[in-house]
């Protein structure tokens, strides 16, 4: 028997939880802290000093030597700068570890090396990190030792957001305020807050580290830039939910333990569709903490993989021809007195509050489909959304049979007098219990699906922060709630007014509802007929941030200023260009220095063979034919390589960021595909032993 693992005991061992604070802080200090956590406001410096000392003592008892303000700049990953708790030694050379309230509350990293999109000139390098009291501090352990991590927001000297957390917190407050107005209309006066809750399902690939290190593309780009398909792909569907192999199993076990210690409720794990692909889902929590935790999940996945001789790939499309990775962002709204606003109950047709919420969400998603699409785009996700893979780039909503029927009744007759019920699931086997069936089957192809008591936004990329999609969801729904509440609060006959409003919204925005197959060609045509946007790439999606409609939305709720939005759009273009540039340069390097030389050496061997066979008086036509075919592809590759080199150089010379990004997409990215095609063919033609890098078969089937 292996050692017994006590999950209850290890859970949140590395987190300075509310429980630990209560235990370690004087009663009045804890009370003040809790008040600020729940209601906002400012912590006095005296209180902050006491909290800082308690936090430091706990961290030091657990081996910490340093602290860091942990933040989420616009690079999409987290950043940290470590400071030791050491202080000036006294006259006798003794040193006491210290940590003050001021150090806890505010930090000042040099902001000049983080993307700011023109918000901050380099000579105005000041940036501040500010403690996010609502997200607990935790300990991170790595080769540098144990570090106390304090979740913080990151702003410029003028208070502009330079990170993902600040606007997220702003959006949570906005949706809370507007959602409260809605529940109050229905008599819920006990609620004081509405929380956006989020549960992200994270997909990832694992590859053997030795093989990974032999591929520059994986090292520099996180995805394969060359690679012919293996003889077997995912067609047998034998990997999905399949038995988890020993090596992967021991990785998952380690990963879970590490995450549980960090207070992350890792709950579900399974193999995904593609070979070497897996998934982990935690239990949902408040959006802010869910975003922080998802960053920790991604970091921990990578770290633990190293210990098992593997590398974790979070890229959205590490391998062409097999499924890529995404992140299903499950989102809902719950009041602090226990009402899930997205719970329809058994008879949604009678649940007026739910129908109003649903109508508002339909309106929000239809009105801001472009923003939602934008919030899920990153460079890697271009290979999924709108490319040859699901989900499609067109935003639509799946409601399921029951709700769609209720919407239909409301729109067509103005009344909904019944809800389709699920009934019993009959297996036809007497020893199996008959189960209550859900009223609705699943739909796997919808980008935005209602799944019982939440919406599942399935477009998000696997490597991306989930902050942006949740900022967007909170904001657009806040706007719809606000508009509805503005009308309803003034209504003389509330029941009549709410009825009319639900009908109006549902009628107007029904075009966003689609329950069919989102992967089909027919849907693309149908969506065009309905006038729904089909935005195919990240660079095309970026300008959604700065439309008049978007600026109005975000400024109204104090989530982004126009300047912040413009800077974010600029950063997206920069990020796109930089990423594609790295990919192009990596391809050039691999083709020039590894692949073409290997093929050239091979043609030499073939040529020698042809001569030798001929000299021996035998028929060398087969060898000559192979040599010919390879030489043709070699020439094609060389030409494509030259084109790619030229285009990449040309792209880099463009100074305007938007123009540059479009050039990278239209010209460089296309030239990359043109080089990849003949090289992948060469891979299938030459002797396996001469191919200089591990193949798809080796990478995804031999983990
Ligand atoms: P699936 O059927 O998509 O695999 P799961 O039951 O595994 O769904 O749940 C997916 C995620 O949805 C989990 O992270 C879960 O915690 C989350 N989830 C469940 N209820 C809610 C909710 N009310 N709000 C947000 N997320 C939720
Ligand atoms: Mg799911």
The pLDDT of residue 125: 67
The pLDDT of residue 388: 64
Residue 198 CA, closest ligand 1 atom number: 25
DSSP state of 611: H
The pLDDT of residue 538: 97
The pLDDT of residue 391: 75
> How far apart are the CA of 595 and the centre of ligand 2, in A?
40
C-alpha–C-alpha distance, residues 208 and 305, integer Å: 9
Residue among 551, 457, 543, 473 at smallest CA distance from 171: 473
> How far apart are the CA of 451 and the centre of ligand 2, in A?
9
**538 preceded by a cis bond (ω within 30 of 0):** no
C-alpha–C-alpha distance, residues 401 and 423, integer Å: 13
C-alpha–C-alpha distance, residues 361 and 455, integer Å: 10
> How far apart are the CA of 294 and the centre of ligand 1, in A?
14
Q: Is 268 in the pocket of ligand 1 (CB under 6 A)?
A: yes
The pLDDT of residue 618: 95
Q: Is 341 in the pocket of ligand 1 (CB under 6 A)?
A: no
Does the pTM surpass 0.85? The reply is: yes
Is the separation of the CB atoms in 557 and 174 below 8 Å?
yes
Which H helix or E strand runs over 204? strand 194-208
CATH number belonging to domain 171-421+447-560: 3.30.590.10
Q: Is 199 in the pocket of ligand 1 (CB under 6 A)?
A: yes
Q: Which residues of the chain have pLDDT under 50?
A: none
> Which tokens go with 426?
């009959």
Residue among 383, 230, 205, 323 at smallest CA distance from 694: 230
The pLDDT of residue 173: 97
In degrees rounded to 5, what are phi and psi of residue 80? -155, 145
Per-residue model confidence as pLDDT tens digits over 197-211:
999 999 999 999 999
The pLDDT of residue 441: 66
> How far apart are the CA of 328 and the centre of ligand 1, in A?
9
> How far apart are the CA of 162 and the centre of ligand 2, in A?
31
> What are the start-end ranges of the E strands in 437-502?
448-450, 455-457
- Taking each helix axis from N to C end, the angle separating 287-307 and 246-261, rounded to the nearest 10 degrees, works out to 140
Q: Where are the domains of the chain?
A: 7-163, 171-421+447-560, 576-701
Residue 282 CA, closest ligand 1 atom number: 14
CATH number belonging to domain 576-701: 1.20.120.1560
C-alpha–C-alpha distance, residues 659 and 665, integer Å: 10
Q: Is 282 in the pocket of ligand 1 (CB under 6 A)?
A: yes
The pLDDT of residue 278: 95
- Taking each helix axis from N to C end, the angle separating 467-488 and 548-556, rounded to the nearest 10 degrees, works out to 80
Q: Is 635 in the pocket of ligand 1 (CB under 6 A)?
A: no
Q: Is 576-701 the same fold as 7-163?
A: no
Nearest protein CA to atom 2 of ligand 1, as residue: 451
Ligand nearest to the CA of 331: 1
Q: Is 330 in the pocket of ligand 1 (CB under 6 A)?
A: yes
> Which tokens go with 222?
């996180």
Is the separation of the CB atoms in 354 and 345 below 8 Å?
yes
CATH number belonging to domain 7-163: 3.10.20.70
> What are the start-end ranges of the E strands in 283-403?
285-286, 310-313, 327-335, 397-398
Residue among 149, 468, 117 at smallest CA distance from 457: 468
Q: Is the dihedral of CA 58, 61, 64, 65 positive or negative?
A: positive
C-alpha–C-alpha distance, residues 258 and 249, integer Å: 14
């Amino acid at each position: 028997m292996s050692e017994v693992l006590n999950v209850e005991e290890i859970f949140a061992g590395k987190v300075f939880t509310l429980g630990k604070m209560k235990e370690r802080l004087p009663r009045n200090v804890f009370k003040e802290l809790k008040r600020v956590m729940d209601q906002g406001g400012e912590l006095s410096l005296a209180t902050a000093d006491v909290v800082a000392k308690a936090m430091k003592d706990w961290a030091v008892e657990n081996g910490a030597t340093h602290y860091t303000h942990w933040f989420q700049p616009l690079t999409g990953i987290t950043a940290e700068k470590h400071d030791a708790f050491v202080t000036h030694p006294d006259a006798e050379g003794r040193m006491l570890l210290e940590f003050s309230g001021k150090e806890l509350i505010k930090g000042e990293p040099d902001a000049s090396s983080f993307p700011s999109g023109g918000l901050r000139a380099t000579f105005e390098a000041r940036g501040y990190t500010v403690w996010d009291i609502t997200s607990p501090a935790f300990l991170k352990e790595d080769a540098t030792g144990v570090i106390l991590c304090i979740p913080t927001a990151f702003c410029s000297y003028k208070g502009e957001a330079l990170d993902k957390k600040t606007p997220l917190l702003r959006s949570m407050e906005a949706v809370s305020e507007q959602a409260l107005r809605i529940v109050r209309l229905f008599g819920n006066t006990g609620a004081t807050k509405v929380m956006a809750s989020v549960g992200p399902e994270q997909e990832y690939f694992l590859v053997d580290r030795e093989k990974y290190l032999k591929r520059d593309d994986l090292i520099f780009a996180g995805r394969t830039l060359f690679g012919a398909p293996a003889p077997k792909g995912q067609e047998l569907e034998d990997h999905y939910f399949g038995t988890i192999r020993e090596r992967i199993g021991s990785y998952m076990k380690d990963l879970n333990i590490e995450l549980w210690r960090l207070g992350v409720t890792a709950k579900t794990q399974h193999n995904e569709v593609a070979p070497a692909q897996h998934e982990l889902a935690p239990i949902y929590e408040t959006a802010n903490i869910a975003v922080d935790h998802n960053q920790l999940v991604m970091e921990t996945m990578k770290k633990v993989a190293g210990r098992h001789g593997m590398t974790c790939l979070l890229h959205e499309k590490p391998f062409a021809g097999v499924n890529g990775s995404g992140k299903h962002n499950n989102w809902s709204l719950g009041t602090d007195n226990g009402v899930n606003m997205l719970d329809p109950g058994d008879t949604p047709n009678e649940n007026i509050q739910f129908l109003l919420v649903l109508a508002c969400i339909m309106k929000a998603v239809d009105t801001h489909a472009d923003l939602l699409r934008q919030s899920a785009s990153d460079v890697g996700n271009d290979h999924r959304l709108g490319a040859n893979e699901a989900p499609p780039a067109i935003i639509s909503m799946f409601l399921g049979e029951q709700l769609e029927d209720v919407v239909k009744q409301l729109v067509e007759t103005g009344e909904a007098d019944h809800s389709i019920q699920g009934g019993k699931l009959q297996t036809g086997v007497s020893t199996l219990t008959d189960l209550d069936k859900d009223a609705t089957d699943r739909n796997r192809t919808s980008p935005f699906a209602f799944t019982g008591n939440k919406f599942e936004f399935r477009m998000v990329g696997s490597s991306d922060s989930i902050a942006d999609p949740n900022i967007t969801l909170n904001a657009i729904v806040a706007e719809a709630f606000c508009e509805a509440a503005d009308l309803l609060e003034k209504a003389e006959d509330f029941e009549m007014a709410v009825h009319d409003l639900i009908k109006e919204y549902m009628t107007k925005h029904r075009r966003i509802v689609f329950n069919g197959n989102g992967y089909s060609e027919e849907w693309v045509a149908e969506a065009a007929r309905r006038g729904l946007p089909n935005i195919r790439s990240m660079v095309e999606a970026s300008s959604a941030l700065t439309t008049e409609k978007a600026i109005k939305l975000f400024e109204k709720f104090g989530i982004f200023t126009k300047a912040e939005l413009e800077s974010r759009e600029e950063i997206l273009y920069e990020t796109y260009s930089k990423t594609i540039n790295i990919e192009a340069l990596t391809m050039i390097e691999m083709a020039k220095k590894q692949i073409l030389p290997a093929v050239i050496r091979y043609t030499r061997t073939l040529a020698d063979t042809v001569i030798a066979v001929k000299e021996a008086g035998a028929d060398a036509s087969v060898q000559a034919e192979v040599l010919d075919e390879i030489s043709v592809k070699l020439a094609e590759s060389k030409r494509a390589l030259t084109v790619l080199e030229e285009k990449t150089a040309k792209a880099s010379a463009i100074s305007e960021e938007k123009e540059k990004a479009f050039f990278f997409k239209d010209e460089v990215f296309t030239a990359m595909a043109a080089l990849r095609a003949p090289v992948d063919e060469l891979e299938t033609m030459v002797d396996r032993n001469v191919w200089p890098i591990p193949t798809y078969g080796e990478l995804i089937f031999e983990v």
